[in-house]
Structure formats: structure tokens, C-alpha cells
Amino acid sequence: MKINIANYRHRVVVLVCLFLALCTLIISPWAPNVKAAPVNTTISSKGLTFSPLRSEFDVASGTSHEGILRVSNLTDKPMSIHLSAEAFSVINQRYDYAFSAESDVAKWVSFVPQDIDLMAGESKNATYAVGVPLTAEPGGRYISLFASTDTATSSEGVKSRQRVASLIYLTVLGDVSRVGRLVSLSSPWAISGSSQWSAALQNTGTTHFRSRYEVRVQYLIGSGVAASAAGDALVLPGTVRAVTDTLPVPSWPGIYEVVYRIGLGDTPAKIEKRLMLYLPPVAIAGVLVALSAVGLVILLRRKH
């Protein structure tokens, strides 16, 4: 059989050019970019600060709990601070907050002192007390302690108020329950780099619980763990919370089993398993190189 050498060489050149162009398109998004050094635009934190940001405690009905708040003026001007309390709740699965100053729960809180004058750069402590009435039913109560100050009037004549909060997660002791349920779990079946998983957690109990979860990426053969991560999320009673976190990434490409262990309060932890393909960009490029090489070999054999 006579082979047309010119036509054969032309086809090989075309295949090689197509392969190099394909590799360039795939690899270029992950190639390092040389950029100018960033300008440091960090600004020191200034304004009114409040601590602690969150407190959790249990109180029996008919008793009280006392705590200390730290208020700081991180500006170059004096401030007059007013302390107040409001009940808070969440309005969606993302846990956006809603506040209510008219709630009876807000009236459980008292401050000593309630008004504080701070010089520039000064910090002071204030004591608060949460007195739980004897008639209070067991269960969760959620209170936000606010420190607020009127800021200076702007050049347009607008006067604004700065307000910072410290959240209290209070459980009135008694016959309380923490009943959790895994509503949904979304786990990616294929990833090439950093990715996320998500879940929806429901609490049908009478007080909050902290869902502690662990994610392990395991080898299909054996019981070895390629990567793992853990975290937690606080779930309020009568709500569904959307939880999203980063999926741990193994070191090598392959097919893995992802094991989720999600705590649900007094309910036994839920264990879910999913399969996942991990194929990083380098591995994708390698697969394409191998397929192109196989295709080239097949083409050469057909020509002979």
C-alpha cells in the first residue's frame, strides 16, 4: 500500500496543534499570574466596641444570672453610651436576625449602670442581670444586649446612631428538649478543587442545640482517611438552619467516599455517605494528554 507522506505529515501537524491549543485553554485559568504588589489599604478599627459578643447559660425560674460587659470607645472623641435589651429571633434559613424591644423577655434584663460616659480611647465595665420570673416556662430565650451612641451630625445635618450587640442564648431550666432532624444534604459528586457542601438542619425542640459535624473523605479500599474537617452550628428551636461549609480536599485524584456525621442535639447523630470524584486540573490535563497519545497511536497504526 502506498502512503501519501505529505498528507500524512499534514494530519499529524494538525493533531499536534489542536492538542497544544486544547492544553493551553485548560491549563491557562490555573496558571500563576504576575501582578503588581497590592497597596496596603488596611484601616485601624475605630468606633464603639462591645464584648463578649455571645453568651450561653442556663437559669432556673425564679433566679437570676449576672454578667459583665466591656464597652470601649476607640475614637478620638468622648462618647455617651446607653445600654438596652431586646429579644431576637431569626427570620429565614440563613439566620438573619429580627429584634423586638416590646418583648417581655427584654424586661428580664437590668444594667448597672445603664448609661456610661467614655473619654476617647477609654473602656469601662457594666454589670447586667437577667432575672427569670418564677412563672417562666422551660425553654430557650434569646436576648440581644445593645450599646448605642449618637454620632456627630454630618455636614448634611444628618444625625446617626451607632449600635453594637452582645447576644445571649438563655435556657430556662426544666423539661426541655433538643430534637434535631437532617432535612437535606447536598454533596458534590465531582470536584476539581475547593468546593462546598450544604445541609438544612431543623430543631423541633424547646431550646437551642449546637450541631457539631464532621466530614471525612475516605478511600474506597480500606478505612483510611484522605482528608477531614469539622465545625459546628447553633440551631434555634422552631427553625431550620442552612449550614454551608468547605469540603475537605484529598491530596490525590480518584474516587472517594465522603462520610458526613452531623449532630442533632438529643437525637442520635445522622451519618450520611456519598461518592465523590476528585479530578484536579493537572489530572484533567494528564487524562487529555493520555487520550491524545492513544488517538495518535491509533491513527499511526491505521496508516501502516
State the CATH number of the domain containing residue 164. 2.60.40.10
Q: pLDDT tens-digit profile of 263-278?
A: 999 999 999 999 999 9
Residues 291 and 184 in one domain: no
User: 172, 199, 221: which is the final residue of a domain?
Assistant: 172
The answer to whether residue 116 is domain-embedded is: yes
The answer to whether residue 129 is domain-embedded is: yes
Alpha-carbon gap, residue 67 to 204, rounded angstroms: 29
Residue 15 has pLDDT above 80, yes or no: no
The answer to whether residue 196 is domain-embedded is: yes
Cis peptide before 38 (omega within 30 of 0): no
Residues 248 and 232 in one domain: yes
Q: pLDDT class for 42, splitting at 50, 70, 90?
A: very low
pLDDT at 33: 39
User: 140, 155, 172: which is the final residue of a domain?
Assistant: 172
The answer to whether residue 276 is domain-embedded is: yes
Residues 244 and 163 in one domain: no
The answer to whether residue 106 is domain-embedded is: yes
Residues 64 and 153 in one domain: yes
Alpha-carbon gap, residue 198 to 272, rounded angstroms: 13
Residues 61 and 168 in one domain: yes
Q: pLDDT class for 44, splitting at 50, 70, 90?
A: very low
Residue 35 has pLDDT above 70, yes or no: no
Grid cell in block for residue 122 = 477609654
Residues 218 and 163 in one domain: no
Phi, psi at 177, each rounded to 5°:
-135, 150
Residues 81 and 140 in one domain: yes
pLDDT at 223: 75
Residues 164 and 191 in one domain: no
Cβ neighbour number for residue 8 with a 10 Å cutoff? 14
Q: Quick check: 28 and 129 in contact, CB under 8 A?
A: no
Helix (H, G, I), strand (E, B) or coil at 93: coil
Helix (H, G, I), strand (E, B) or coil at 224: coil
The answer to whether residue 162 is domain-embedded is: yes
User: 172, 195, 212: which is the final residue of a domain?
Assistant: 172
Q: What is the mean pLDDT of residues 190-194?
A: 92
* Residue numbers of the domain that contains 80: 48-172
Residues 277 and 288 in one domain: no
Q: For residues 177 and 291, which has the higher predicted lDDT (pLDDT)?
A: 177
Q: pLDDT tens-digit profile of 56-110?
A: 999 999 999 999 999 999 999 999 999 999 999 999 999 999 999 989 999 999 9
pLDDT at 302: 73
Q: Quick check: 230 and 245 in contact, CB under 8 A?
A: no
Strands of 1-100, DSSP E:
48-51, 54-59, 64-73, 79-90, 97-100
The answer to whether residue 40 is domain-embedded is: no
Q: What is the mean pLDDT of residues 229-238?
A: 97
| pTM as predicted | 0.75
Q: How many domains does the chain have?
A: 3
The answer to whether residue 275 is domain-embedded is: yes
Residues 185 and 138 in one domain: no
pLDDT at 162: 87
Burial (CB < 10 A; 0-12, 13-18, 19+), residue 284, is middle
Residues 208 and 145 in one domain: no
